[in-house]
Structure 1
Amino acid sequence: MTQRPQALGSTTINDGEPQAARDRYPDALRAGALLVVVFGHWIATLPRLDNGLMTTTDHLLLVWTGAGVLTWVLQVVPLFVFVSAAVSADGAQRRLEQGHRQLHWWAGRALGLARPTVTYLAVLVAFVIVAAYTGGRLLGPLNHSLTVHLWFLMMLLGVQALLPLSVWADRRWGLKAVAGLLVLAALVDLLRAGMTAPGELLELGTHVTANGGGIGWLNAILVWLLPQQLGIAWKHGRFSGLGCGLALLLFGLLWLAAAVASGYPVAMVDGEFGVPSNLLPPTLALVGVMWVQVGVVLTCEGPMRRLLERRRVDRVVTILGALGMPLYLWHKLAELPAAWLGERLGLPIDAGIPGEVGFWLGRLLWLLLCIVAVAPVMVAVVSFEMSRKRDVVSATGTSAILTGGAALLGGIIASLALGALPGALFGLAGVAAASWLLRAHPQPTGEPLGRT
């Protein structure tokens, strides 16, 4: 059985292809998607000051209902899953044909995320300890903000665990596999809505979001598998071209308009827990964002590929691809020093509400502070990651992988549910255990045995 050395950050950056042969268009799409998420998170965080000191934070969606439409652009997780599946499809198919176990490949992916996440949570725990002795004034308002983004890691590992099933379904049924997932996702929303008459379809979204998650949590699997299935189909040439792109773009916009008209929330991300949501659990409305984004990918493919042929652009994409996941993991931490800098410099980072004079100036200044704050963080993180052992061989034992996966899942859930304090403490214990369990013991010496 071949063991797979896991390089740091390879979960989303390195898919086993020689660098010279890589298709830079997917790399550019993934890097762009992560940048959109990072800037979107910063813009959505609204510090609130009292006598020049931050006392709490608001979410942009809670103070400006019109911002929900912006999430049709900013909710790029479907795009990321779509592109990641397209990049990983050939490797998954080779593993199926050669009889290699998907579980071993997934262990490498999970280890590649667990190791840098341990570092992030360890630093967060240090902040928590310092805050416990200093009063934690800045940590309090940002407590959950510092860990909420970790949900993406959990979702990504979940859909990647089912990647061979998606590849097999594409080989057997092609686009019918996409249609099947869509039908199942629609059925889940219909059952969640509990409708009794066909006429109630016009208010489907209202009925769906009025009920608790319940059976709707099945769509936490089905809805996120849709872009994965679609990405594999795209990779295998089952649809392409400008005409198809424009058709999907228009279809997606009509889908979103119909979803909102039926009562689904406009926003595709959540401003707070416990309110009607398209994300917790995912709904059919979120599928409309997928159609729009895939349409844009196909529509822009020709000019973007020509642009990426330029060496300078290719180099930028390479750098952004390498920094994408570390930036995503650490960008929320930058809000702490950004708030501190804003206070000390007396900048109007508390700009009131949309429509008031200076609101967007305040958003711009807050964004610049976050960029300034994240730069030294990224330098330190990259320096640390480059200095540690990178080719760590992942475990091959089924029990170790399953236990490690459970520890990783538990650690992330604890961090999400409890925030930085005390969630980071429990999260660090779980993710650190996962990092140890998911690697081979002892580590092989000499040259790596190869990749599967």
Structure 2
Amino acid sequence: MTAQSYRPVRAGRRPMPGLRELTRRVDARTPSDRDRAVDALRALAILGVIFGHWLVSAVVEAGRGSLQGASPLQYMPWLAPLSWIFQTLAVFFLVGGHVAAKGYQASRRRGVGYGRWLGGRLARLFRPVVVILGVWAVTAVVMLLSGTPLETVRTLLTLVLSPLWFLLVFALLTALTPMVLRVGPLWPLAVVAAVDVVRFGLGGPAWLGWVNVVAGWLVPYALGAAWARGRFDTRRSGPLLIIGGVAAAGLVIWGGYPASMVGVPGAPVSNLNPPTLAAVAFGLAQCGLALLLREPLRRMMTRPMVWAAVAAANLSAMTIFLWHQTAMLAVTAMGLLSGPLPGLHTRPDDLGWVLARLGWLPVFAIALAVCQAAFGAAERGRAGRPSKGGARNACEEPSHV
């Protein structure tokens, strides 16, 4: 044995395991009864929202050194089909309803009270929110004291904090889970249709549309609860829900609804704020597709490397969601040091901007990874700390979204 072939390991220290070994450990520690397809659908929904925001959100100079938000959908409405792909909130609520219903049923069997069950879920949901609100409160004060225009501060805070609206809706629906288990998705769907008829057909007040903020997202949430009760175990369930996509297309073509499934600055009507019948019907199609993908995803999740990536994404799901706009803005701010850069500071009004923005996506992802490393512990809390038996991982954590 030569000196080069033998490398002693210092006493008390273990060699770092390789990537293959880490993925094998994650796979081995995953309970055999865990439905990995659910975690995969959640990860896909989160990635859809993130990349959708990165593609349709831009910051441009508005004069006098101030910045304002812009969207390529303002200038290139033919890009609206992108919103059909990346507006995946319906899948998020579908998975959330499924996981909440499963968790509530399990807690009942264990004798855990409703208050304790709800408190645990809401604590994990809002713990990382406190961190980002604190960081941006300090950031906003520093910017204002340093002379940053108020319009710029308002634009940045809007981009960062506007996605948080869904957490309040999600928390409310989570609290209503026992009721949702007894109420099917057809009732909230009927409410959404009735509200739109009054708003758009009978000239009713615009504020009535905000009823759909709860009713609209209750539809996929209730579908998830029905899934937890075994209502969608047949192969016909997915195709039947996909018919909702046909209904959504009909509402866009003949009903006068916008083609974009996300809000467009300056547009008189938004399909998302508040949700319209077109957005809810489109969400039904997404939920149907998600149900059809369950078996392929289960097979894919048997690969340790793929499952480890999905498990890691789920462990930091809320952190990734909360900080993705901050990551984009951090890159945008640092880019200003080199002057206006295409796809980052320029007006999103042509195909060149889209191609340039695609090139920035990996940079945004790196910045998001830094944010996750810095603030991910707030989401995991005590559950993320190593135990005496060894480090815990995503597959051991109860899903909270």
TM-score, normalization by structure 2: 0.78
Q: Distance in 2 between matches of 1:283 and 1:28?
A: 27
Shift in Å at residue 120 of structure 1? 0.7
State the partner residue of 1:339: 332
- Work out which of the residue numbers 143, 157, 167 in structure 2 matches 1:131: 143
Give the Å deviation of 1:147: 0.9
Equivalent positions of 1:351-366 (< 5 A) are 351-356=346-351, 358-366=352-360
CA distance in 2, matches of 1:32, 1:252: 20
Listed as ranges, the matches of 1:51-70 within 5 Å are: 55-70=67-82
Query: Which runs of 5 or more residues in structure 2 are unaligned?
Result: 1-28, 386-401
In the other structure, the counterpart of 2:216 is 223
Structure 2 Cα separation of the partners of residues 296 and 224 of structure 1: 17
Q: Which residue of 1 aligns with 2:244?
A: 252
Give the Å deviation of 1:164.
0.6
* Cross-structure match for 2:375: 381
2:300 corresponds to 1:300: no
CA distances 1:260-294 after superposition (whole Å, capped 9, x unpaired): 12112222221348831222322211221222112
Instruction: Tell me the equivalent position of 1:86.
Output: 98
CA distance in 2, matches of 1:55, 1:219: 32
1:40-439 paired onto structure 2 within 5 Å:
40-49=52-61, 55-95=67-107, 101-136=113-148, 139=153, 141-169=155-183, 177-195=184-202, 211-249=204-242, 251-260=243-252, 261-272=254-265, 275-346=268-339, 347-348=341-342, 349-356=344-351, 358-382=352-376, 389-390=382-383
- The structural deviation recorded for 1:352 is 3.8
Alpha carbons 2:348, 2:354 under 8 Å: kept: no
| Mean CA deviation greater in 92-101 or 301-310 | 92-101
Shift of 1:20: 4.7
Task: Kindly report which structure 2 residues correspond to 1:17-32, keeping only aligned pairs within 5 A, or say none.
Answer: 19-32=31-44
1:58 is displaced (CA, Å) by 0.7
Moved over 6 A (4+): none
CA distance in 1, matches of 2:354, 2:248: 27
Question: Which deviations, in whole Å up to 9, do the C-alpha atoms of 1:392-413 show, x marking residues without a partner?
Answer: 9xxxxxxxxxxxxxxxxxxxxx
Match of 1:446 in 2: none
| CA-CA distance at 1:220 after TM superposition | 2.1
Sequence identity percentage: 32
Between the aligned partners of 1:104 and 1:50, the Cα distance in structure 2 is 49
Give the C-alpha shift of residue 50 in structure 1.
8.0
Shift of 1:136: 2.4
Q: What CA distance in whole angstroms lies between the structure 1 residues aligned with 2:270 and 2:295?
A: 36
**Partners of 1:47 and 1:58 within 8 A in 2:** yes
Residue type of the alignment partner of 1:378: Q
Aligned to 1:36: 48
Return the alpha-carbon distance in structure 2 between the equivalents of residues 283 and 307 of structure 1.
Answer: 34
How far is the alpha carbon of 1:337 from its aligned partner?
1.8
3-state SS in 2 of match to 1:55: strand
Q: Deviations over 1:359-378 (max 9, x none)?
A: 22321233233223222222
Q: Distance in 2 between matches of 1:79 and 1:385?
A: 22
Cα distance, 1:81–1:342 mapped onto 2, change above 3 Å: same
How many angstroms apart in 1 are the aligned matches of 2:249 and 2:274? 20
Q: Is the 8 A contact 1:54 1:339 kept in 2?
A: no
Whether the 8 Å CA contact 1:240–1:298 is kept in 2: the answer is no
* AA at the equivalent of 1:78: A
Task: Give the Å deviation of 1:36.
Answer: 1.1
CA distance 1:40–1:384, change in 2 (3 Å): same
Q: In structure 2, the residue corresponding to 1:326 is in which secondary structure? A: helix
Distance in 2 (CA, whole Å) between partners of 1:54 and 1:362 is: 23
C-alpha separation between the residues in 2 aligned to 1:32 and 1:123? 27
> Which 5+ residue runs of structure 1 have no aligned equivalent?
1-16, 170-176, 196-206, 393-452
CA distance in 2, matches of 1:238, 1:185: 22
Q: Is contact 2:56-2:71 (8 Å) kept? A: yes
**1:213·1:280 contact (CA, 8 Å) conserved in 2?**
no
The residue type paired with residue 195 of structure 2 is V
Q: Secondary structure at the match of 1:147?
A: helix
Q: Is this contact kept in 1: 2:272–2:279, CA < 8 A?
A: yes
**TM-score, length basis structure 1:** 0.70
Structure 1 residues 295 and 385, CA, compared in 2 at 3 Å: closer, same or farther? Answer: closer
User: SS of the residue aligned with 1:269?
Assistant: coil
Q: By how many angstroms is 1:157 displaced?
A: 0.4
Greater CA drift, 329-338 or 31-40: 329-338
Give the Cα–Cα distance (whole angstroms) in 1 for the partners of residues 98 and 179 of structure 2: 14
Number of aligned pairs? 351
**Is the CA contact 1:92–1:167 (under 8 Å) kept in the aligned structure 2?**
no
Any idea what the Cα deviations from partners look like across 1:20-49, whole Å, max 9, x if unmatched?
A: 532110111011111111111111112325
Q: Per-residue deviation at 1:160?
A: 0.8
Letter matched to residue 64 of structure 1: M
